[in-house]
């Protein structure tokens, strides 16, 4: 009897594998906006923005949060408002998550791709990403 079930299970697994070929998930990586912790701490996010971690460069190394002239990365002054209208059909949290974890998905005009580290999805925890988003949402 066991042999009777092996073939259908193998066929289903093969069909799922073939069906997945050539598709790119919306959120390839460890975390997605849905799987991040529900709450972020804006104070912790600000500290992370300013100091970074041993594995993650501080955002403040390249970004400012006011209207100072910027050479490395775009100013994040008003980023919360831009995030709310920045990605049609998605929330500001989704937009900021994508900007942090997949920075080359949308590159701000006047800046080159591959300037921002693309490893924050691996070097920051889900809580740290949520905290960073909470902080960025305060920058109206």
Going from N- to C-terminal start, the domains of the chain cover 26-136
Distances (CA, A) of 26 to 43, 86, 98, 99: 29, 16, 10, 13
Q: In sequence order, what are the residues at sequence separation of 6 or more whose Cβ sits closer than 8 angstroms to the Cβ of residue 94?
A: 33, 87
- 10: which 2 tokens? 């193998």
Q: Please report the pLDDT score of residue 17 as a whole number.
A: 38
Q: Please report the pLDDT score of residue 5 as a whole number.
A: 46
User: pTM here?
Assistant: 0.76
Looking at the domain 26-136, which fold is it?
A: Cytochrome Bc1 Complex; Chain D, domain 2 (1.10.760)
Among the listed residues 114, 136, 131, 138, the one whose alpha carbon sits nearest the alpha carbon of residue 37: 131
Q: What is the mean pLDDT of each run of 10 residues along the chain (140 residues)?
A: 47 40 44 82 98 95 90 92 86 93 91 93 94 97
Angle of the 126-136 helix axis to the 42-51 helix axis, nearest 10: 100
Q: How far apart are CA 44 and CA 7, in angstroms?
A: 52
């Amino acid at each position: 009897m066991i042999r009777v079930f092996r073939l259908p299970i193998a066929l289903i697994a093969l069909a799922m594998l073939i069906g997945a070929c050539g598709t790119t998930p919306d959120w390839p990586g460890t975390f997605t906006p849905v799987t991040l912790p529900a709450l972020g701490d804006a104070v912790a996010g600000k500290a992370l923005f300013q100091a970074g971690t041993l594995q993650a460069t501080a955002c403040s190394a390249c970004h400012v949060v006011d209207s100072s002239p910027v050479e490395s990365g775009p100013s994040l002054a008003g980023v919360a408002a831009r995030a709310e209208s920045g990605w049609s059909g998605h929330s500001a949290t989704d937009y900021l998550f994508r900007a942090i974890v997949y920075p080359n998905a949308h590159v701000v005009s006047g800046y080159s791709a591959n300037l921002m580290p693309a490893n924050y999805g691996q070097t920051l925890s889900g809580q740290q990403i949520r905290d960073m988003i909470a902080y960025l949402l305060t920058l109206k």
